[in-house]
């Protein structure tokens, strides 16, 4: 698959995800979801992951970890499957992604995160906020266990 086709495929996923979450958040279920404000970040986090993988300043090992987080977003089966419970199921995807981003930010400049962030807020602050959610949503130690599946 050429890079252009892959980029187009990822952009389509980004826009599709943004549209799906926005539609869901307009409904009563979405408006009342306790993590609604975090779910709004899902498309921007996905976009950030794609940009990190494409950035030549990012080490291959960090790119591999990031590709795992992209796969977790795209695959229909995960801890909280969005195919079963709807867009609210993306909460685990953004938590896994933020954990990966927090892990790799120690190896690169935080400016890379900020540079590739498409959202309105500071990308590094968003990643840190979401990472703080992980224990509330998934329990202590669950996210590192999920990540370890990608690194073995």
pLDDT, tens only, 109-149: 888 888 999 888 888 888 888 877 776 666 666 666 665 65
pLDDT, tens only, 61-118: 999 999 999 998 888 777 777 777 788 888 888 888 888 888 888 888 888 888 999 8
- pTM score, two decimals? 0.79
* Axis crossing angle, helix 91-105 with helix 142-151, rounded to the nearest 10: 70
């Amino acid at each position: 698959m050429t890079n252009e086709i892959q980029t187009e495929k990822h952009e389509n996923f980004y826009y599709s995800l943004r549209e799906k979450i926005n539609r869901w958040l307009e409904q009563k279920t979405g408006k009342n979801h306790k993590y609604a404000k975090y779910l709004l970040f899902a498309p921007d986090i996905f976009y950030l992951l794609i940009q990190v993988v494409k950035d030549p300043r990012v080490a291959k090992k960090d790119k591999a970890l990031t590709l795992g987080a992209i796969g977790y977003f795209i695959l229909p089966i995960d801890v909280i499957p969005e195919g079963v419970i709807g867009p609210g199921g993306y909460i685990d995807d953004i938590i896994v992604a933020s954990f990966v981003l927090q892990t790799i930010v120690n190896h690169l400049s935080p400016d890379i995160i900020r540079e590739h962030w498409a959202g309105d807020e500071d990308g590094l602050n968003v990643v840190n906020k979401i990472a703080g959610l992980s224990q509330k949503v998934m329990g202590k130690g669950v996210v590192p266990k999920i990540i370890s599946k990608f690194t073995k």
